[in-house]
Amino acid sequence: MAVERSSGPFSFRCLTEGFSLRGVGLHSGRDCVLTVEPCDGGPLLRHEGAEMPLSRLGLVGTGRGSDYVFPDGHRVRTCEHVLSALVGLGAWGVRMTVEGPEMPALDGCAQRMAECVMEHSEPCGAGPEPFALAAPLRVGDESRFVAAFPSSRFCVTCVVRYESPLIGTQMLDLVLEPGAYLEQVARARTFAMEAELEALRARGMALGGSLDNAVLVGSGGIRASGGLRWPDEFVRHKALDLIGDLAAVGRPLCAHVVAVRAGHELHLRLAERLRALSGGHRGS
């Protein structure tokens, strides 16, 4: 998939037409539809007749995904993969309409969404005003945290550590630009521990998960359709999640974000801190 390399800190893409994607929700197992359309002043999220900018919606990251909560309490679940593709490719001027309780799981990563964005968009010079972080921020504790540092670009460093020797400790550094996103992150799939699967499904989660959209790690080895795409696919997926979760700020970030043994809850706590500092959403 060819993509223009950015010569500056950010490159932007503008949708030339809308598109729709249908699939089961990762947790609900229900049929879900996402329609993405170009708009001014995005990103916007529409659900059950309500529409708001991402930067003004409530955030919940405690349910094995990132949920956006409307003022009346209803929410759209597992938004991180779709948002990761949009941020990774610089497509900010979008309206996302969701039918169903969550985003469709699709391929369990951001590849299919990224392919649709590339097919239905073109490079453009305009985008939201980036937010340049002026001083370091940190959320979490000594063992699990996310920190952000001033930078001229958006960079991420992710570290994961799992007891399973099949994952162990992995680290990824990435300077975010569309080519690097597509080549190094977009195809990294979500994953779960086999020992946790029964308990997750008893709680009404992972009902739409399968080897078509996830990697399963168990005592007998790793189960994944086609095998792992990289030996460190796990940390690459964590970077994918982090990029998508920070879309909650509503505009590009000039910051180096370091996530150590973190997850959606910590990612979104940092996003809330960044929202407060950035002064809210500013459209393109």
Instruction: Provide the annotated active-site residues.
Output: 264
Q: Which residues contact 266 (CB under 8 A, 6 or more apart)?
A: 61, 139, 140, 144, 145, 146, 259
Q: For residue 55, give the DSSP letter.
A: G
Task: Confirm if 76 and 25 have CB atoms less than 8 A apart.
Answer: no
In order, the DSSP letters of 229-283 are SSTTHHHHHHHHHHHHHGGGGSS-EEEEEEEES--HHHHHHHHHHHHHHHTS---
Report the interhelical angle of 80-89 vs 111-119 (nearest 10°): 40
Give the three-state DSSP class for 132. strand
